[in-house]
Amino acid sequence: MGPEGEEGAVEEATGFEVGIVVPKLSRAAAAGATEDCVARLVRELEGAGLLVERVRGVPAEFIKLSAPMGTLGRAAAEMQMKKLTYIGMELQFEWDQVAAFVRQPDGSLFSWRERYCCFRYLIYGIVNKSNSEIALKFDNKEFHWKQSESLLTRLEAEGVVKLIFPLHDEIKRKQLLRNWALNWLEFTWQPIDEIYSYFGTKIATYFAFLGMYTRWLFFPAVFGLTTQLIDFGSLQWLVLPAFFIFVISWAVFFLQFWKRKNSALLARWGINCSLSEYKNLGNDLSFLSDSLTVEEKKFCDVSAEKSKLQRNEWFGVLLRIRNNAIIVLAIICLQLPFELAYAHLYEITETEAMRYLLTAVYLVAIQYYTRIGGKVSVNLIKYENNQGEESSSASLVYKVFGLYFMQSYIGLFYHASLYRDILALRQVLIQRLIVSQVLENLIENSIPYLKYSYKKYIAVHKKKHEKESPMGRSVRLSTRVEKEYLKPSYTASIGAELEDGLFDDFLELTLQFGMIMMFACAFPLIFCFAAVNNVTEIRADALKLLVMLKRPVPRAAATIGAWLNIFQFLVVMAICTNCLLLVCLYDEEGKWRIEPGLAAILIMEHALLLIKFGFSHFVPEEPAWVKANRVRYVAQAQTVCSKQLLRSISKLDRKLD
């Protein structure tokens, strides 16, 4: 079956990008005269314009889907998908006006997320258009396909369709493996545009942030290494305050320059996130004529609507305050005693080996405790009046970070405030950083492989004991699609219904950022550990996505969202904690003592807070070329909207006459 499209088709068909998993029929049942529901599904999918290939695997049967560009284009038009045009406005897609819409960096018409949305629209859009119910059969089971009901929805409810998931493109996957995941010589360089084309906006934004963060880490890492290798003599007492000021300035500039990079990436990818002035207007221009033709709308009770919106807004705020109070009380009453007990046991443990073992056991145990708190947070969010999935995800981020903030730093605060031993604090920092990073990387990369190996063993073992399986013949997974099916999904460890696997990756980054920032003066070399770890993290995360997991479902998030607020919060916390560390100046023996430098430190703290908020305005949040394009697009959009508004007014005037 060859690709097809309108007017010669703008592009060829996509590769097989979506898979549907159904149970295997016995060969006798498959050869029966009656058409089963899977065969009906295949016929309907082909009727919708999709290219279909059936694969009989070891664990199940798979239906692989591809689509000509014309099929995707018509689906996008029927969905009323909004796409960016060359005048900067997001307008409803029209297949016969393809030239008006901005293409992707790789030259394709649709992004990966848009293509996946079209696939789901097509397969879930197969409905029973007849005047009666249709009887369907599968493996001696009969059920009915109701009028106007989606066939996929019915098959999922009956357990016939087990899973719908994105498929890896083997050619592009191997290119990314070679040029990205296995390209260790490039250190922090990454093919961000290729990552965006293959995985979508959210994952590409994460790797862009991780790469930029790692590159910027080399500056404080070099400074921190210098403070440990060079003896500054009589000026030694100025080294840590100077390093502290440098680190805070570095963090502020890093976050500001990230905002610039983020806006530049969105502009390059054709994502119209910044045009808030008319985005809602461009999303639905039909409201112009509707508002003019329906004269009764002029008399709607605006004050009543305003009152209702304000009431709902404040009710949602009160719900969030209540839920946050529950989380805070849980931290104080349940987690704080546990953390203090660990810190005390750490102090009375004499050998370093036992301390490392104690830290490892603690970190494993606290993961389960924190996940319980995360599940409680997810249930609380269901009762909040959040506006959309993005708002709910942000609420989850703040709550779960509060739990991890306590379990990650309370032990460090305990050592710093109670024992006032700089050498002991450094040892705890080293152990925490090394053990936590090793454990996280081990768990993050080994668990997906173990899950895949276990599922593979179960599938092969079950196949060997089937009656139809030839005796003595080895059973193995021979197709790529069945191997992908057995791989774990890229989901969050907490709140999988709200977040994907990037939740855990961003959480790991923020906890690392908090540790190196809040205790920078205690151990400047910690930036070197973080830089080396992040260089490894880039490649490990890339291998995880390309080799160990299913291809993630693309998400539309264009920024790092609530995580940016957490990074900025940690900068403020770092100013406070490092000032406290500097107040307790240490002598040659490593014991801290409070000296009259308190006034100077307090002045420094206030000065750095001013620097933090002042520097934020020195660096523009978007490059000049992005701003110039945005202004031009806004002007063009206003012109288009004004012309349509005038035409609508003229039509209304003629009708009234």
Q: Taking a C-beta distance cutoff of 8 angstroms, is the pair 248, 606 a contact?
A: no
pLDDT of residue 469: 52
Whether residue 296 is predicted with pLDDT greater than 50 in this model: the reply is no
In the block, residue with structure tokens 């961000």: 192
pLDDT for residue 570: 93
Say which range, 95-104, 534-543, 581-590, has the weakest mean pLDDT.
581-590
Could you state, in order of their start, the residue ranges of all structural domains in the chain? 18-167, 173-273+312-463+478-622, 624-656
Residue 112 token pair: 């990966």
C-alpha dihedral (114, 120, 121, 126), degrees to nearest 10: 160
pLDDT at position 621 is 73
At CB < 8 A and 24+ separation, what contacts does 231-238 make? 237/585
Mean of all residue pLDDT scores within the chain: 78
What percent of the chain shows pLDDT beyond 70? 75
pLDDT value for 290: 42
Residue from 410, 412, 406, 405 nearest 427 by CA? 412
Q: What is the pLDDT of residues 582-632, one digit of tens each?
A: 776 554 544 555 555 556 666 666 677 777 776 666 777 777 777 777 677
Of 259 and 303, the structure prediction assigns the larger pLDDT to: 259
Q: Kindly tell me if the per-residue pLDDT of 465 is higher than 60.
A: yes
- Taken in order 386, 389, 391, 397, the sign of the CA dihedral is positive
Tell whether the torsion through CA atoms of 636, 642, 648 and 650 is positive or negative.
negative
pLDDT in tens, 118-156: 999 999 999 998 888 888 888 778 888 998 899 999 999
Query: What's the pTM?
Result: 0.83
Q: How many CB atoms lie within 10 A of CB 619?
A: 13
pLDDT value of residue 557 = 77
In this prediction, residue 452 carries a pLDDT of: 83
List, for residues 190-219, the tens digit of each pLDDT value: 999 999 999 999 999 999 999 999 999 999
Average pLDDT over residues 304-311: 68
pLDDT one-digit tens code per residue, 50-75: 999 998 888 889 999 999 999 999 99
What integer is the mean pLDDT of 8-12?
43
Q: Per-residue pLDDT for 235 more than 60?
A: yes
Q: How confident is the model at residue 656 (pLDDT cuts 50, 70, 90)?
A: low
